[in-house]
């Protein structure tokens, strides 16, 4: 009897990027070796105290770094590329959703 796989979204997901990204992955090792917390203090003067929150300066720097390392010059292509790569999502500190 022939079976047919129908795609169905799961209501609950038990998924962890830290488990899926291998220990020897470049972006995982880079995340552990590149402390960027100093960027919060360095860029504090460029952010206002009212209004909507903007992008995290550490995430912005990491996005620029990924664009350089992956040779992506378009912002839209960079966001599209990052959203499809689990290791880069882990590097940025984002989850799959």
Position 52 scores a pLDDT of 84
Q: Is residue 88 part of a domain?
A: yes
DSSP conformation class of 17: H
Q: What is the pLDDT of residues 27-66, one digit of tens each?
A: 999 999 999 999 999 998 888 888 888 888 999 999 999 9
Q: Which residue has the higher pLDDT, 43 or 13?
A: 43
Where in the sequence is the domain holding 30, given as residue range(s)?
A: 18-42+55-92
Q: Which residue has the higher pLDDT, 15 or 9?
A: 15
Global confidence as pTM: 0.83
- State the total domains in the chain: 1
Question: Do residues 90 and 26 lie in contact, with contact meaning Cβ atoms separated by under 8 Å?
Answer: no
The C-alpha atoms of residue 57 and residue 37 are separated, in whole angstroms, by: 9
The C-alpha atoms of residue 29 and residue 33 are separated, in whole angstroms, by: 6
Q: Is residue 49 part of a domain?
A: no
Q: Is residue 76 part of a domain?
A: yes
Q: What is the pLDDT of residues 61-88, one digit of tens each?
A: 999 999 999 999 999 999 999 999 999 9
């Amino acid at each position: 009897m022939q079976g047919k796989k129908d795609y169905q979204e799961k209501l609950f997901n038990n998924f962890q990027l830290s488990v899926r990204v291998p220990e020897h992955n470049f972006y995982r090792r880079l995340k552990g070796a590149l402390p960027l917390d100093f960027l919060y203090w360095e860029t504090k003067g460029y952010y206002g105290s009212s209004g909507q929150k903007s992008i995290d300066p550490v995430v912005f720097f990491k996005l620029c770094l990924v664009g350089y390392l992956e040779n992506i010059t378009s912002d839209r292509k960079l966001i599209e590329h990052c959203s499809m790569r689990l290791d880069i999502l882990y590097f940025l500190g984002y989850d799959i959703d």
